[in-house]
Chains A and B, each alone.
Chain A
Amino acid sequence: MAWGPPPARVVIVGAGQGGFQAAASLRQEKFEGEILLIGAEEGLPYQRPPLSKAYLKSGDAEALNLRPAAFFEKNDVTLRPGTRVTSIDRDAQRVQAGGSEIPYDHLILATGTSNLRPTIEGLDRALDLRTLVDAQRLRVAMEDAERCAVIGGGFIGLEFAAVARGLGRRVIVAEASDRLMARVVSPEMSARFADKHCEIGTELALGRTVTSVSSGGIAFDDGTEMPADLVLLAAGVRPNDDLAREAGLACDNGIVVDATLLTADPAISALGDCAAFPDPRTGRMVRLESVQAATDHARAVARRLVHGTEDPYAAVPWFWSDQADWKLQITGFGRPQDDSVRTENGAILRFDGEVLSAVETVNDAKTHMKSRRLMAAALTDPGAGLVRDRLASVGYDLLAL
């Protein structure tokens, strides 16, 4: 995109973590045009991470808001909650929402993800955990549930399981893969967390496929049944890329964007959970579901729109998950096939070939933060080489570097 004056009117579709941050960052960068933030959910933009953690215990919905209503007035951001964008007319640069046509000079898609609904009989009995409304429903259901069954042993399912156990419920987690959080963490970390969940009294059903949900509980493909009076579905998500796809934009596991988070249409950017972008370390197309990606993407898009900055997006991914009294922290991201090396202090280093791809730690903020700094430095200076030989020479102790 040739540098031109900033657009007069930016429309943001999706008022979640990334959409909100884009609006806030545009103002921080001194954007003087109009900002319209359109969100399908009711209420103020809020943070999702506590939905499977503190909120389940406290029920304090107000504490979730990213900013109070006054923030939007003060920063002249027009928020349209409870409004779904139904189509994009790229030629006319307009979106259709709630029966009206809304023009844009630049459009930011921050539509997030939706829960995957695998083909399981009776699945409409299972609850979801993606939105505040979901979490409110789940909290109520948990009050008089004695036995909770969770379909899916990923971060959200396990965080919920740990909270439910903490509240004294009987909990079973069913996971089709043979290990927990398999898509993201190393086999060693999966095993450590499996032990932890067993230790706090959660039953794990690994490598087991749930085939039906009924009022009595869940049933597996081998015919066995587990009684449950609450069933949570947490079996992954899919990107909300339908709007973009219908508008003729390329989508492949998310809305395809370039290293500046721009789609093939110079008037449309995409960010956060719904965007497939080139990973700064490898150039491979990836899609991340994290607060870090949503907020760092949003800041990069704001800088580009206001100042014409076209530096490629270059932020190191980080992520956390709180399960019982364990905080898992991850820097970078590994693929299932990446090797892993366990260090003396318990951190796990993952390698993509010879190069460090991720660092997994539990309750070890020091190593986590050090790995973030090291991996950030390696991004801008490949000579800083976080390679196996060099790390092996210090016993894989990142704090020694």
Chain B
Amino acid sequence: MIKVTYIHPDGSEETVEGREGDSVMSTALAQGVDGIVAECGGSMMCATCHCHVDPDWTDRTGARKDGEEDMLESAASPVDEFSRLSCQIKLTPELDGLRVRLPEEQV
């Protein structure tokens, strides 16, 4: 299992375990972490699973996928260089301990 910590806008943290191959988005939903809407179910049709990857982890989460940038432009909360669509980050063993910050709003 791979541990992921979600940091809410109020600073509170939730650490849950996800399966390898699942996304940071689907892990949050499956473990009942609020703050991710994921309207399109990971089809890269919306920006309602926006998260900010902790700067210490961006090397390992890698670059944005094709088209992700364009979707992020429609995110409801401000986007920065650490912004990703959490549906596009797939859990691998090297992401064990990953930390992501959730934005104020998704819709």
* Cα separation A17 to B67 with both chains bound (whole Å): 25
Which of B53-61, B69-77, B90-98 contacts its partner?
Answer: B69-77
* Cα separation A63 to B73 with both chains bound (whole Å): 27
Q: Does B24 contact A (CB under 8 A)?
A: no
Tell me the interface secondary structure of chain A in the complex.
helix
* Cα separation A295 to B48 with both chains bound (whole Å): 12
Q: Are B70 and A68 in contact (CB under 8 A)?
A: no
Which of A32-40, A114-122, A366-374 contacts its partner?
Answer: A366-374
Given contact pairs A47-B41, A291-B39, A295-B39, A373 touches B74 in the complex (Cβ within 8 A): yes
* Cα separation A368 to B70 with both chains bound (whole Å): 9
Size category of the binding interface on chain A = 20 to 34
Interface residues contributed by chain B, number (CB under 8 Å)? 19
Q: Are B41 and A50 in contact (CB under 8 A)?
A: yes
Q: Does A3 contact B (CB under 8 A)?
A: no
Tell me the interface secondary structure of chain B in the complex.
loop
* Cα separation A47 to B43 with both chains bound (whole Å): 12
Residues of B within 8 A of A366 (CB): 67, 70
Q: Are A70 and B107 in contact (CB under 8 A)?
A: no
Question: Among the interface residues B29, B31, B41, which one has the most CB atoms of the partner chain A within 10 A?
Answer: B41
Residues of A within 8 A of B73 (CB): 369, 373
A residues whose Cβ falls under 8 Å from a Cβ of B = 47, 49-50, 62-63, 65-68, 70-71, 74, 291-292, 295, 299, 318, 320, 322, 327, 329, 365-366, 368-369, 372-373
A65-B29, A365-B67 given; 18 more Cβ-contact pairs under 8 Å: A49-B43, A65-B30, A68-B30, A68-B32, A71-B32, A291-B39, A291-B41, A291-B45, A292-B39, A295-B39, A318-B45, A320-B45, A322-B43, A327-B44, A365-B44, A368-B70, A369-B70, A369-B74
